[in-house]
Amino acid sequence: MTAIVNVFLKEGVLDPQGKAAHHALDSLNFAGVEDVRIGKQIIIKLEEEDKAKAYTEVKEMCETLLANTVIEDYSIEIN
């Protein structure tokens, strides 16, 4: 199975890269941009074939290493 993990700074934690990209989009005259947030995507290929087990395993990976939950949130998609 493949797990797609998205890691973003939490709401309320200033995202300086998102802010810089937002500013650049404004400068390029892209109107109506309300907010830009930049995160990272981590794609993990797993041997596990049970979706629920894969999810549990990846959640553990996020809590341990992939995200710093002091400043970051994560989402997991299993395919």
Partner 1 sequence: MKVAVLRFPGTNCEFDTQYAFEKLGHSTELVWHEDETLPENIDLVVVPGGFSYGDYLRSGSIARFSPVMKAVTSYANEGGKVLGICNGFQILTEAGLLPGALKRNNNLHFISKHQKLCVINNDNAFLNKCETGEVLNIPIAHADGNFYIDDAGLKNLEAKGQILLRYSDEDGKPVVVNGSVTSIAGVCNEAKNVFGLMPHPERALEALLGSEDGLRMLKGFDD
**Token pair for 48:** 């596990």
Binding of partner 1 by 70 (CB under 8 A): yes
Place of tokens 């290929």: 45
Q: Binding residue for partner 1 (CB under 8 A) from 11, 16, 28, 29?
A: 16
Q: Binding residue for partner 1 (CB under 8 A) from 3, 58, 62, 66?
A: 66
Part of the chain binding partner 1 (CB under 8 A), chosen from 24-32, 43-51, 52-60, 63-71? 63-71
CB nearer to partner 1: pick between 31 and 65: 65
CB nearer to partner 1: pick between 31 and 45: 45
Place of tokens 């300086």: 16
